[in-house]
Amino acid sequence: MLMDLKFGFCKNFAVSALCLTVFGVMGAGAEPLAFPEALGFGAQVTGGRGGTVYHVTNLNDDGAGSFRDAVSQGNRIVVFDVGGIINIKTAVSIKSNITIAGQTAPGEGIAIHGGKLSTGKQSNIIIRYLRIRPGENTASEKDDALNLYDSKNVIVDHCSVELAPWNNFGGSSDNASYRVTGITVQNSLIANPIGQQFGAHIESVDGTWAWYYNAFVNTHNRNPLDKINDVFVNNILYNFEAGYTTHTSTHFNHDIVNNYFVYGPKGSNPWFQVDKNQSIYASGNLIDTNKDGVLNGTASSIYYYQGAGEELSKPWNELTTSGPMLSAASAWRYVNSQSGVLPYDDIDSLIWHQVGTLGKEGALVKSVGAMGIKTNNGWGEVIAGDAATDSDKDGMPDYFEVAMGYDKSKDDAMTKESDGYVRIEKYINWLGASHMRIADDASRDFDLRTITRGFQEVKPTYSVSAAENGSVELQNDGYTARFTPAAKGLAPFKYTVKGNDDTEYTGRVEVLVESVAGADTTVATGDSSTTAIVNRGMTLPNGLQIPARNGFRDLKGRRYSKQVPYRVLF
């Protein structure tokens, strides 16, 4: 039987109070985190937990089963039975107490084109694995892609927020009753804004905002512009004309730690621009200005352009150091491995390819067509897939419920488990991590290179450990983890990747063990420069072997005689 490999986000947490919460060691009655890897000011958001499940069943702009209808009412966990592109004609407003689980969309996932999304004056929202791309034909030339104005308690994870005519991210408030506060954006790609070409503009007195493991790419300015009390940790910037900026007369606190700033073809300005009214803790930040295709940056100091601010001797907020923290170089390699929406579609494949050239490629674009993608009027494709069978329509497919010992004929999505998560959250949290499905009758292999793409150029070495409900061993090739299950259900294991440049990252793979594993496509990777999938052959469920063919194939099944840009390893 075969295994089903998928890719998402997984973290190694330092031993801390936050770490204990992340792994479920909580006080009696405490709510768990938004999802196990949630960080920062938005980590405690509950979203639609305890509400109802809404299925997005079509790609229509509105009407029953549409995304617009799904988010028009609160107290919902939104799942997707379809993948592909949703073209909207007007802005979509997201209501409070919602979880948007984009990772449930089959195929390459979901993308929303043509207009902005807004959480204005709403709260308690989880948004994961969603591509948001307005383009140039929105209702206003000042539309953001995702606007969090007057919002509080929101977490955005593994999203691609791109191609907005104004800011990719907006989050401002001038209303004392609706401060923008309690926000986290993590593991996301913020790239290719058009029009003014701004990355993010965040502004709110007394507000709080955290950025972790994000990539700002091909942006003119505001990367971000933070007029707010913030934490900016382990992010990367590539091909920017102005980096992190805090130009304002109002005093705010900023922790800027272990970020990597790399010039692209447009890079020429200081990475960090602040004025005299700010209190700054800056540590471990690197900048690479030589555009030589090699990650070899040096330490950089704060650049003041309107008088010196206050330089703090320690972080202003404990969240800066209480959670997981990588070196700047390790953050660069991790973000290039697992951030954004996975698997990559055409647009994101192009952007990540440009980032990987380390100064050689990348462009600030004024339109969707200027990216140079030749299909779908420049938008490229987001390949759909087939949703798994869900007999009781509770948002969890039958295979997951059977493996977990749930009742596949009964709607038990909101049944609370011992760790505080409801059952459908167990499913969407598994999908949101690096994960695979296997049968319980034999050992199965996981190619660790598929989730460590950013480390491939530094001759990585791997180790595996801490298997639960089974055992794990590293094979002789040095990168294959062989997992042997001992029981049905969830069975995670840890892996560590180390580069020859002293970069390092530890994460987890979440294994779902079934009595009978589902059908699957074998996935493999090439070397660090390969941007198409190596075709190593397949084994069908009936045991029939299909021999490998020469060359490469991409996620669409197209075959190439040589490596081609813009399609990815996953």
For 26, left (φ over 0), alpha (ψ -120 to 50), or beta?
A: beta
The label of the residue with tokens 């951030």 reads 339
Residue 492 DSSP label = -
C-alpha 472/C-alpha 481 separation (Å) is 6
What six digits make up the tokens of 188? 């996301």
3-class secondary structure per residue, 158-169: CCEEECCCCEEE
**CB-based burial of residue 28 (10 Å sphere; 0-12 exposed, 13-18 middle, 19+ buried)?**
exposed
**8 Å CB contact between 485 and 438:** yes
Q: Is the peptide bond before 106 cis (omega within 30 degrees of 0)?
A: no
Alpha carbon distance, N-terminus to C-terminus of the chain: 21
**Among this protein's residues, is 49 annotated catalytic?**
no
Q: Which of 68, 76, 133, 222 is catalytic?
A: 222
Rounded Cα distance between 43 and 183, Å, is 8
Residue 521: Cβ within 10 Å count: 11
Residue 201 CA to chain centroid, in angstroms?
Answer: 20
Distances (CA, A) of 566 to 414, 475, 562: 40, 30, 13
Q: Taking the mean position of all CA atoms in its chain, how far away is CA 93?
A: 22
* DSSP one-letter code for 529: T
| Residue 24 to residue 329: CA distance in whole angstroms | 30
Instruction: Please state whether the peptide bond connecting residue 343 to the residue before it is cis, i.e. omega within 30 degrees of 0.
Output: yes
Structure token digits, residue 252: 């705010």
In angstroms, the CA 460 to CA 475 distance is 15
Give the residue from 297, 303, 250 showing the smallest Cα distance to 272. 303
Active site residues: 222
